Amino acid sequence: MELQRTNGDRLFSVFNYTFFALFTFLCVFPFYYLFIQTISGNDLSARGLVTWYPKDIHLTNYLEVLKIKGLSHAALVSVGRTVIGTILTVLGSAFLGFLFTKRRMWGRKFWYRFVVVTMYFNAGIIPWYIIMMNLHMTNNYLAYILPAIVSPFYVILIKTFVESLPDALQESAELDGAGIMTLFVRIVFPLILPIAATTAIFSAVAQWNSFIDTVFLMTEAKYHTLQYVLLKYLNESNSLASIIRSQGTSNVDLTNLQTPNSIRTTVSMFVVIPILLVYPFFQRFFVKGIMIGAVKG
């Protein structure tokens, strides 16, 4: 049944479409603006002459910036923590969630609460930092991986999901003499793949975007992530100036010499590209993903 269209209705529609068009523009334009800065002539973008469309298009920034000492290493650190961290988080949280569905587990309820409660309280950042120091987690790559392995959100999500599966599947395998490991790897994990994929994507984004742990724990440059290096470039114009000085005169194309501006924007692009690449694939997980924030322990 179609509603009758009144004038107020039409006005409302116009307002509505305009509002969403504007807000969407606000959300997208910064990314576009960032991109056109990196491919426009560096002297033009440094003077603020690139606003709506790229000018003097060139792609040398993407090659030149990668040559900056330590930057490709930082990218490697970021990729490493994202890949290793995500795999271990998914496996660890899924396995624990699966174990919590086993009623025979000793102290199951207690241990389940033990994990879930950590969602609602934390000791505070300084006590956490003190303990991380005592656990030798400063300047240690494991600090990126280990604390993330058990995520209470994911554990709850997977436990609930496994509980919704028919018992018969596991029972028949158990009758055939399958142990816990076999049961998890062969029977349960393939079945929870959709939810595991959701947790994988959210954990990957979280790992890639994380920087405050680097701020707290990593003083040595070899543990610095791309996010952290970008933050440093934004805050310390000195470190950028020295990079630019060191690029020497070998660069023939004088108009596209690196500027603080070009380095910042290009590194930003390196930080955002992976997100943009996986984005089309993971927006179908959105509703499941927000469930992660809404599930009840």
Within 214-243, the residues that bind other proteins by CB under 8 A are 215-216, 227-228, 230-231, 234
Asked whether position 9 contacts other proteins by CB under 8 A, the answer is: yes
- Which helix (H) or strand (E) is 202 found in, with range? helix 189-209
Among 246, 249, 254, 296, binds other proteins (CB under 8 A): 296
Asked whether position 212 contacts other proteins by CB under 8 A, the answer is: yes
Region from 54-62, 63-71, 111-119, 237-245 binding other proteins, contact rule CB under 8 A = 111-119
Please name the residues in contact with 217: beta carbons below 8 A apart, sequence gap of 6 or more: 129, 132, 137, 138, 139, 140, 143, 223
- Comparing C-alpha atoms, which of 250, 253, 254, 239 is closest to residue 68? 239
For residues 231 and 229, give the distance between their C-alpha atoms in angstroms, rounded to a whole number: 5
DSSP code per residue over 78-96:
HHHHHHHHHHHHHHHHHHH
Asked whether position 53 contacts other proteins by CB under 8 A, the answer is: no
Region from 116-124, 161-169, 189-197, 243-251 binding other proteins, contact rule CB under 8 A = 116-124
CB of 162 to other proteins, least distance (A): 14
Q: Which of residues 180-209 bind other proteins (CB under 8 A)?
A: 180-181, 205, 208-209
Please name the residues in contact with 74: beta carbons below 8 A apart, sequence gap of 6 or more: 224, 225, 226, 228, 229
Binding mask 61-90 for other proteins (x = CB under 8 A): ------------------------------
CB of 115 to other proteins, least distance (A): 6
Among 62, 129, 141, 189, binds other proteins (CB under 8 A): 129
Among 73, 79, 87, 297, binds other proteins (CB under 8 A): 297
For helices 71-99 and 260-282, the axis angle rounded to 10 degrees is 30
Among 11, 14, 18, 24, binds other proteins (CB under 8 A): 24
Asked whether position 126 contacts other proteins by CB under 8 A, the answer is: yes
Q: Which of residues 251-290 bind other proteins (CB under 8 A)?
A: 261, 264-265, 268, 271-272, 275, 279, 283, 286-287, 290
> For residues 170 and 188, is the Cβ–Cβ distance under 8 A?
yes
- Comparing C-alpha atoms, which of 94, 85, 66, 126 is closest to residue 258? 66
Asked whether position 211 contacts other proteins by CB under 8 A, the answer is: yes
Please name the residues in contact with 81: beta carbons below 8 A apart, sequence gap of 6 or more: 141, 144, 145, 207, 210, 225
Q: Which of residues 87-106 bind other proteins (CB under 8 A)?
A: 92, 95-96, 99-100, 102, 104-106
Asked whether position 135 contacts other proteins by CB under 8 A, the answer is: yes
Handedness of CA 173, 177, 183, 185 (dihedral sign): negative
Among 11, 14, 18, 19, binds other proteins (CB under 8 A): 19
